[in-house]
Chain A
Amino acid sequence: MDADLGNLPYLLRWGVILGLSVLAVGIVIEHLSGSPLIWEAGLFLIVVTPASFLVALSYRMFAEGEHRIAVLSLLTLTVVVISAFLSLS
């Protein structure tokens, strides 16, 4: 183990649980009103959960002086963000 993460790992679990809940509600709403907006928000929450974890991880690691892990975390995040922009183009 490289560093103490405290309760940070739970961000991953709760992020996807929130995403799945919104997704479930969104599927029902789409059946009732035809709007896919809510389930799309649920998918978005699931997809960004790992990236949010990386943001939180880099913040915590910088605060704890673990600069190497913080920089690596930001580097990974940059690749993920670039992927989002490339997908949009």
Chain B
Amino acid sequence: MEPLIRFLEVILSGIGVGIISSMAGIGGGTLMVPLMVLVLGVDVKVAIASSLLTIIVTSASSSTVYLKEGLVNLKAALTLEPSTALGAIVGASITIGLPSNLVKRIFGFGLIAISLVMLARTFTRPKEKGEIKHWTLGVLSSFFAGMASGMFGIGGGVLKVPIMNLIMEMPIKEAVATSSFMVGLTASSGSMVYAIKGFVDPVLVLGFALGIMPGATIGAKSLKGIKSRYIKLIFSLVLLYAGIKLVGW
């Protein structure tokens, strides 16, 4: 009976992640890992590994739609992805080599940085039109987005979208769709490292994947009438709090 209750707990957490992440317009990774560690009591490395596997599932689902609609810029995605994937492998290898307690603290600092990026994005006007520029800078920055993904078990969309939109001047809609497609590839590279070392919990992957999908639909429907800027602001502050708690301040 206990495994079943645990599985239901994970599905419910996944529904929560799906609702919040679709309302805030971000991927679920930034929320999944703190939730697994702080609420479900999972080891941080297992949480990161399982989060990456779940991200492959959610990214595949959304990028199928984006690819069909022709919103993904394949040239940009595949130019940026090799350095991003390499970064993910480096990030994952760093995390595996460190003790869990230190990883938890580093993840906390990473979460604080991500929440600050999100806060800044809340007040930044996205670029709607433009010709893609600064490819070299984009490729170099993507390496670090990949590294964050591999280290922290996030998709890295929170960094990829600003890289493509603000640095490379890709229109925001295209940047979101392209990032969504890239996130699955990056997570696949990072998760390979963790999966081979045996850090993945299959129940977490299945439960979160099954929960996030309906959760995202509920979140998208509840969004009508609520200003997404406020949700992003609240969400950034929640992440900031989770980051501080993980660091242990």
Q: Which A residues form the contact surface with B (CB < 8 A)?
A: 1-3, 5, 8-10, 12-13, 15-16, 19-20, 23-24, 26-27, 31, 39, 42-44, 46-51, 54, 57, 68-69, 72-73, 75-76, 78-80, 82-84, 86-88
Contact = CB atoms under 8 A, between A and B. Distances in A.
Interface centre among A8, A12, A27, A39 (most CB of B within 10 A): A12
Contacts of A82: 89
A47 B60 CA distance: 11
Given A39-B202, A79-B85, A87-B197, A2 B61 contact: no
Q: Which A-B residue pairs are the 7 nearest by beta carbons? A: A1-B70, A72-B78, A9-B67, A12-B60, A83-B89, A50-B188, A87-B196
A16 to B, nearest CB: 4
Interface string B41-62: 0000000000001001100110
B81 interface: yes
Contacts of A47: 53, 56, 188, 191-192, 195
Contact of A2 (B60, B74, B191): B74
Interface stretch (B203-211, B221-229, B238-246): B203-211
Contacts of B203: 27
A27 B202 CA distance: 7
A16 B205 contact: no
Contacts, number: 126
Chain B binding surface SS class: helix
A72 B75 contact: yes
B196 A50 contact: no
Given A80-B188, A83-B192, A87-B192, A26 B56 contact: no
Given A2-B75, A12-B184, A69-B75, A80 B53 contact: no
A80 B184 CA distance: 12
Interface in B111-170: none
A86 B92 CA distance: 11
A39 B195 CA distance: 12
Contacts of A80: 85, 185, 188-189, 192
B193 A83 contact: yes
Contacts of A27: 202-203, 206
Nearest to A39: B202
Interface string B80-97: 011001101100010000
Contacts of A1: 70-74
20 contacts: A1-B73, A5-B67, A12-B63, A15-B60, A16-B56, A20-B206, A27-B206, A44-B195, A47-B56, A47-B195, A49-B56, A49-B184, A50-B56, A57-B74, A68-B75, A76-B185, A79-B89, A83-B85, A86-B89, A87-B196
